[in-house]
Structure 1
Amino acid sequence: MQLTALALWLNTAFAGFDEAVATAIHQLYVAAGWFFTPFLSFISLLGKGGIFLILLSIALMLFRKTRRYGTTMLLALAIGALVTNVCFKPLVARPRPYTHDGSIFQQYWEMLGKHTESDKSFPSGHMTAAMAASLAVFLRGNKKVSWTALLFALAMGVSRIYLSVHYATDVLGGVITGSIGGFAGYAISNRIPESFYTADFRDYIDRLKAKKSGGKGAGRSTAAAAAAEPSDGRRRTLVIDGANFSTMDGLFREFNRLFDVGPDEAVHSLDALNDLLGGGIGKIPAGARLHIRWLNSEKSREDFGYGATVIYYEKLLRRCHPNNRPRMEALLAEARRGEGETLFEKLTALIARTDTGHDCTLSLE
C-alpha cells in the first residue's frame, strides 16, 4: 500500500512512541482482560459515528436548563467532525495499525476480537467526538464538577488504543481536533441570542393559544382570568399560575396579562415588574393594596432555581455597566456554585413588599 508522505512520517517518527503506549495499555488486558475488554469495547461503541453524543446533545437542547450544554456540544461535535473527516483523514490517509502484517498492533487486534473500521486512522474520529463533547461540557459548566466530563474522553482514548484500532498518535490527533471543535463550539454558542436559551415550548404554545383566541375566552391564562376576581375587602387578590410559564419571559407575559398592560408599558425586566406592582400601570390603580396567589409555586421554584439564576446573571453581565461587572461576576460565580439567592427567591422578595409605593403580599400554593 502506497503511503502518503504524512502517513509515512507518522509511522516512522513516532513508531517507538506508538508501540510503547500500545504495549503499556495492553497490560490492562494482561491484568484483567475479562473486565477491560467488554468495558472498553462499550466505551468505544459510544463514540461510533458520534451518534450517541449527537442524540445526547439534542436531548439536552430540549430542556431550558441544559440547552446551553446541548447546543455547545452539538456545535463542538459538528466542527470536530468537519475538521477530522473532511480535512485531516483524507489528507493524511494513514492506514489502521492492525493492517501492518506481523506487527504487535495486529497481534493485539487479533487477541481482542478483530474490531474493524472502514475509514482512515489519523486522527481518531472517536477521540475527536469524545474530546469535543467533553470539552464543551467542561467549558460550559462549573469547573469544580465539569472536569469529570474529561474522564470520558480519557476512557475513549484508552479504548481505541486498547482495541488496536488506533495508534497513540491518532488519539493525540483526536485530542487536538476535538479541542478545536470544543473551543469553537463554546465561542459560537456564546454568540447565540439569549432568547434561544430561555425560550420554552410551553410558552410558545401559550402564545399561539392566546393569539388564536384573540386574548379572550378559553385561550386566556389563569392569571388573566383571575384579574377580574373581586377584592377580599382588604386587598385585591390576583392569581398567577406557575403551570402557565417556566421562563422569565413567560412570567412577564403572565403579569402583563394579569394587569392588562398595553404593548407600550409591557414588563420585560425585574425593575419594570417592581414598578408594575406599585400600581398605576394597566388596570390596577396606583397605591392599590394587592395580594398575589402563586399557584404551582413548587414548579416555579424549580424552574427559577440555580440554573435559571446562572442564565439571568450571564445575561446581565453582558450588558451591565463596567462598574457593576465585579458584582455581577461575583453573583454569577456564586450561582454556579449553587450558593446564594436563587431567581425564585429574588422574585418572591420583590413581590412580597409593603414599603412606600409598593403594598403587596404573597402566598405560595
Structure 2
Amino acid sequence: MELQILDAIQTIRTPILDRLMCFITSLGSAGRVWILLAVILLIFPKLRKSGVIILAALVVDLILCNGILKNLVGRTRPFDVNTSVSILINKPRDFSFPSGHTAVSFAVVAALFFSGEKKLWKISLVAAVLIAFSRLYLYVHYPTDILGGIVVGILAGYIGYRVVDWFQTSILHRADQVQ
C-alpha cells in the first residue's frame, strides 16, 4: 500500500516541482537550515533559550534517529524496492526508517512550540511539512517513515525542552544558591 501512495505522488511530477522538491529537501539535509536557525536565535538574548532548546533537540534527534532507530529497524528504501522510478537526488545510503529529514524538522517545530515561540513554530511547521512531503515526492521514504520521523522529532523536541528546562532550574538554581 505504501508503494501505491508513493506511485500516486509520482503522477504529479513536473520539471518545476522536481526542482522545487529537490531544493526543499536540501533544506533538511544534515539539519543545516535548522542549525542555522538555532545559531541565529542564539545571537538575540530574548531568543537565546529557544536556540539552546533547538540545539538540545537536534542532539537528541541525532541520537534517537540516526544513532539508534535507523540501524535497529534497518528498513530498505523505496527506490531499492521499485527500481523503475528515477531518483532526482543522490541516493541516501542509510536506512529508511524513520525519515531523518522529517525527524530533525519536527524536532525543531516541537522545540519552538514547547519554548513558547508562537509565530516561529508555525512557520517552521510549514517548512517541516514541505520537507516531509519532498521525501515522499523524491521516492526516498515510505509514508510510515515520515510518520515515524514526525513522532521521533516531536519526542526529541520535547526532550530537548525538558533537558534545558531542568538544567536551567536545577543546575543554575543551585549555582545561584552557592553564591
TM range (shorter): 0.7 to 0.9
Counterpart of 1:35? 16
Which amino acid counterpart does residue 156 of structure 1 have in structure 2? Answer: I
Which amino acid counterpart does residue 15 of structure 2 have in structure 1? Answer: W
Distance 1:148 1:51 in 2: 16
Counterpart of 1:23? 7
1:172 to 133, 142, 147: 147
> Is contact 1:75-1:189 (8 Å) kept?
yes
* Larger RCO (alpha carbons 8 Å, 6+ apart): 2
Pairing 1:181-220 to 2, within 5 Å after superposition: 181-193=156-168
Q: 1:114 to 1:190 in 2, by over 3 A?
A: closer
Pairing 1:320-335 to 2, within 5 Å after superposition: none
Counterpart of 2:35? 54
Q: 1:67 to 1:144 in 2, by over 3 A?
A: closer
Distance 1:142 1:84 in 2: 25
Counterpart of 1:65? 46
2:58 to 60, 77, 80: 77
What root-mean-square deviation, in Å, do the aligned CA atoms of Structure 1 and Structure 2 show? 2.0
Map Cα deviations across residues 198-250 of structure 1 (whole Å, 9 max, x no partner). Answer: xxxxxxxxxxxxxxxxxxxxxxxxxxxxxxxxxxxxxxxxxxxxxxxxxxxxx
- TM-score for both structures, normalised by structure 1: 0.43
Alpha-carbon shift at residue 38 of structure 1 (Å)? 1.3
Alpha-carbon shift at residue 142 of structure 1 (Å)? 4.8
Which amino acid counterpart does residue 58 of structure 1 have in structure 2? Answer: V
Map Cα deviations across residues 82-125 of structure 1 (whole Å, 9 max, x no partner). Answer: 0011111111111211112xx2xx333x1x52531121111111
> Is contact 1:43-1:156 (8 Å) kept?
yes
> Is contact 2:57-2:161 (8 Å) kept?
yes
Distance 1:74 1:135 in 2: 12
Q: 1:173 to 1:62 in 2, by over 3 A?
A: same
Percentage identity across paired residues of the two chains: 33
Distance 1:24 1:148 in 2: 28
2:100 to 101, 125, 132: 125
Q: 1:28 to 1:189 in 2, by over 3 A?
A: farther
- Where 2:91 maps in the other structure, the secondary structure is coil
Which amino acid counterpart does residue 44 of structure 1 have in structure 2? Answer: T
- Where 1:94 maps in the other structure, the secondary structure is coil
Q: 1:139 to 1:121 in 2, by over 3 A?
A: same
Which amino acid counterpart does residue 125 of structure 2 have in structure 1? Answer: L
Distance 1:132 1:145 in 2: 13
Map Cα deviations across residues 239-278 of structure 1 (whole Å, 9 max, x no partner). Answer: xxxxxxxxxxxxxxxxxxxxxxxxxxxxxxxxxxxxxxxx
- Where 1:190 maps in the other structure, the secondary structure is helix
Where in structure 1 are there 5+ consecutive unaligned residues?
A: 1-15, 195-365
- Where 1:193 maps in the other structure, the secondary structure is helix
- Pick the structure with more strand per residue: 1
Distance 2:150 2:143 in 1: 11
Map Cα deviations across residues 276-330 of structure 1 (whole Å, 9 max, x no partner). Answer: xxxxxxxxxxxxxxxxxxxxxxxxxxxxxxxxxxxxxxxxxxxxxxxxxxxxxxx
> Is contact 2:18-2:88 (8 Å) kept?
no
Which amino acid counterpart does residue 56 of structure 1 have in structure 2? Answer: L
- Structure with bigger gyration radius: 1
Pairing 1:1-365 to 2, within 5 Å after superposition: 16=1, 18-29=2-13, 33-100=14-81, 103=82, 106-108=83-85, 110=86, 112-143=87-118, 146-193=121-168
Counterpart of 2:173? none
- TM-score for both structures, normalised by structure 2: 0.85
Distance 1:130 1:145 in 2: 13
Between stretches 142-151 and 128-137, larger displacement belongs to: 142-151
Count, aligned residues: 169
- Where 1:166 maps in the other structure, the secondary structure is coil
> Is contact 1:138-1:149 (8 Å) kept?
no
- Pick the structure with more helix per residue: 2
Where in structure 2 are there 5+ consecutive unaligned residues?
A: 170-179
Alpha-carbon shift at residue 61 of structure 1 (Å)? 1.1
